[in-house]
Amino acid sequence: MTRPLSPLASNSALTLTRRGLMGGAAALGAGLIMPRRGRAQDTLIRAHGYSYYGNLSYPQGFDHFSYVNIDAPKGGEISEYASGTFDSMNPYSRRGRAGRYSWALYESLLETGGPFGDAAPADVYDEAYGLLAEGLEYPQGKEWVVFFLRPEARFSDGAPVTAEDVVFTHNLFLEQGLPSYAEAVRQRVINAEVIDERTLRYEFAPEISRRSLIDQVGGTPVFSKRWFDETGARLDEPRMETSPGSGPYVLEGFEVNRRITFRRNPDYWGWHLGQNKGRHNFDRIRVEYFSDDAAAFEAFKTGEYTFRAEGNSRQWAIGYDFPAVDRGWVKREEIPDGTPPTPTGFVFNLNRPFLQDRRVREALSLAYNFEWTNQQLQYGLMSQRYSYTQGSPLEATGVPEGAELALLQSLGDLVPPELLTDEAVTAHTSSADQLIDRRNMRRANRLLEEAGWTVGDQGLRRNAEGQRMVIQFPYSTSGSATAEAIIESFLDNLRTLGIDAQGQRIDPAQYTERARNHDYDMVLDGYIAFLDTGTGLHQRFGSEAADDVFNPAGLRSPLVDRIIDISLMAEAPEDRDTALRALDRVLRWERIMVPLWYSANQWFAYWDIYRHPEETPRYSAGVLDWWWYDAERAAELRAAGALR
């Protein structure tokens, strides 16, 4: 799925959300189409939303998103947990650990997702509708775009949201935002100007792809210029003070490393919008912090917080046998996830010279035994992932043929010959009966010897210079015991190969710092799944971002860069899909990570005080977006002594 460049300083938001941010169809909406500025043959498109190739699903003035309950009651509280610590409420700085959902206060010109990370809209793909902006206009060639702000849009302090605020925010990200983000945007957006109080215009660089330009500027959060001017706050520094946002929730309060609470704003300017009907139903959203997952689970069992997205397969299989479940006070639910699984895995740091040899990466991958891990540690609940677009029409299969083969052949020497003749890389199979699969270990041994790493004295693997192969694999103490066991079983197999594999269990703050600085040989991390193209692909997989937190492998591949460029320049959906299928094939061939597992369903456990529509949309479960609080059931549980 396409993603514009992200201004967030951490990839946490990317791994927690599975939403598509625009890039589908060229929105005509119900607006004006007429010749105007620029080339004489251009027509001006006036619309209430934006997508790339076709029409918007929701018409101008639509009443509500199709999947919400417009009669959902407002009120109540939902609470969840976070592991680790936080020392900042500024998610746009590389320094410090930002609190969960600290970005949720801010809105953008176009709605590219709910405030807490849910897809919006969640029933259609790659469409964005005007939020702070009531409309936009642009020529067919998309050389520029003009946004028209809603006159009623207000920050939470009552000040109007103006075009000056929007342009100020754009420039603030260029001056004080993530360097990789700022440089990429600066190359693509050559001017942002205020036309009047509620109108602004962006001009884009010539001779570049029109992809992720309108959606990039339309999806950037908007800050209060007055607040930044008065306080002197900087975007690149951690701070606990938050600028006023314009969204449906405001920050109610926090206790550092203990909790953060957001309060629904009854004076929110946008309650009348059709897209907000049936959404943002909870009066409060509370996040409780715990040192690790084990402590968090014990707190859930006593009702200290009331909603839990479960990621621990062992816990899901056998952990929910406590009295509140038996009495029907706590419900468990599995909701299908229609997006491709997030590409998580044991990521190689390609800045390490010995890991730049693809044979070494393949050999180390063979030490992972999914079948044994799934059976012994994950209760058979998982499926194995291997593709960045798994289960979608963009997944590369077999040997390249047709349009995909022609595309790869057109790239000449950039393409290794075997990519043209070999089948797409898939996950290897292993024996489920024992951790060590001797067949795979023999194959790994041959690959390592071919790469010049042989076993010598004391059973240790060394290169021709006598250097030992050492793998440092840090992981956070706030993670689950199951994740730690899976990492350590993998490291055990690496040690069997004669590798000095060192698992390093470190505190969350130290882990965050090391992850941001690529201070590891391998790490448990992830990339993004994609169903469409966008400049965000360069930020995650491109050479220009090899040293950035969004590219944990540090991948530098001219072939990957070129295929992303081709996808961005595609004029027809089928050409875009061909390029993305080739991108999936090449990323898998690069073996930048050991792909791990996924579940086709999201696992939720919650105290029986929440409700949602009977059918959930394909692209999001929407827990913090369109679920609601059942006050009557909550009163029953309190009367029974189940809840405080």
- pLDDT tens profile 209-238: 998 899 999 999 999 999 999 999 999 999
- pLDDT tens profile 303-333: 999 999 999 999 999 999 999 999 999 999 9
Average pLDDT over residues 516-524: 96
Please give the Cα distance from 532 to 582 (Å, whole number): 13
Sheet bearing 77-83, strands edge to edge: 77-83, 284-290, 259-264, 249-255
What does the DSSP 8-state code read for residue 458?
Answer: G
pLDDT at 180: 83
CB atoms under 10 Å from CB of 406, counted, come to 11
Confidence band, pLDDT 50/70/90 cuts, at residue 131: very high
Q: What is the CA radius of gyration of the chain?
A: 25
Confidence band, pLDDT 50/70/90 cuts, at residue 609: very high
DSSP-assigned beta bridge partners for residue 136: 47, 147
Q: Which amino acid is at 62?
A: F
Of the listed ranges 112-116, 369-373, 411-415, the one predicted with least confidence: 112-116
pLDDT at 54: 63
Contact 74, 266 (CB under 8 A): no
pLDDT at 42: 67
Per-residue burial over 114-144, b if 16 or more Cβ lie within 10 Å, else e, is bbbbbbbbbbbbbbbbbbbbbbbbbbeebbb
Q: What is the distance of C-alpha 528 from the center of its chain?
A: 6
What share of the chain in percent tops pLDDT 70? Answer: 94
- pLDDT tens profile 13-39: 333 333 232 233 222 233 433 334 444
Superfamily of domain 12-231: Periplasmic binding protein-like II (3.40.190.10)
Q: Give the right CATH number for 344-386+426-526 from 3.40.720.10, 3.10.105.10, 3.40.50.10300, 3.30.2010.10.
A: 3.10.105.10
Q: Which amino acid is at 252?
A: E
Compute CA distances 379 → 270, 288, 403, 602, whole Å.
Answer: 46, 28, 41, 16
Contact 236, 93 (CB under 8 A): yes
- pLDDT tens profile 626-636: 999 999 999 99
pLDDT at 1: 40
Please give the Cα distance from 569 to 528 (Å, whole number): 20
Instruction: Decide: helix, strand or coil at residue 478.
Output: coil
Average pLDDT over residues 429-448: 97
pLDDT at 377: 95
Q: How far apart are the first and last CA of the chain?
A: 42
Average pLDDT over residues 55-63: 94
pLDDT at 2: 53
Would you kindly state where each structural domain of the chain is located, as residue ranges?
12-231, 344-386+426-526, 399-424+530-594
Q: Is 436 exposed, middle or buried (0-12, 13-18, 19+ CB in 10 A)?
A: middle
pLDDT, the chain, mean = 92
DSSP assignments along 322-345, one per residue: SHHHHTTSEEEEEEE--SPPP-EE
Q: Is 524 exposed, middle or buried (0-12, 13-18, 19+ CB in 10 A)?
A: buried
Contact 143, 39 (CB under 8 A): no
- pLDDT tens profile 456-504: 888 999 999 999 999 999 999 988 899 999 999 999 999 999 999 999 9
Locate 394 and state its tokens.
């963009």
Look at 183 and 135; give whichever has higher pLDDT.
135
Q: State the greatest distance between any 2 C-alpha atoms of the chain, in Å, as a whole number.
A: 78
DSSP-assigned beta bridge partners for residue 259: 255, 288
pLDDT at 11 over 70: no
pLDDT at 40: 40
**Angle at CA of residue 524, ends 606 and 590, nearest 5°:** 130
DSSP assignments along 161-225, one per residue: P-HHHHHHHHHHHHHHS-HHHHHHHHHHEEEEEEEETTEEEEEE-TTS--TTTHHHHHTS----H
Look at residues 552, 551, 476 and name the one whose alpha carbon lies nearest to residue 509: 476
- pLDDT tens profile 223-278: 999 999 999 999 999 999 999 999 999 999 999 999 999 999 999 999 999 999 99
- How many alpha carbons fall within 13 Å on the CB side of residue 118? 20
Locate 331 and state its tokens.
């419900």
Average pLDDT over residues 430-437: 96
Of the listed ranges 345-349, 444-448, 548-552, the one predicted with least confidence: 548-552
**Angle at CA of residue 66, ends 134 and 218, nearest 5°:** 30
DSSP-assigned beta bridge partners for residue 35: 43
Please give the Cα distance from 11 to 14 (Å, whole number): 5
Please give the Cα distance from 457 to 430 (Å, whole number): 29
Average pLDDT over residues 349-376: 98
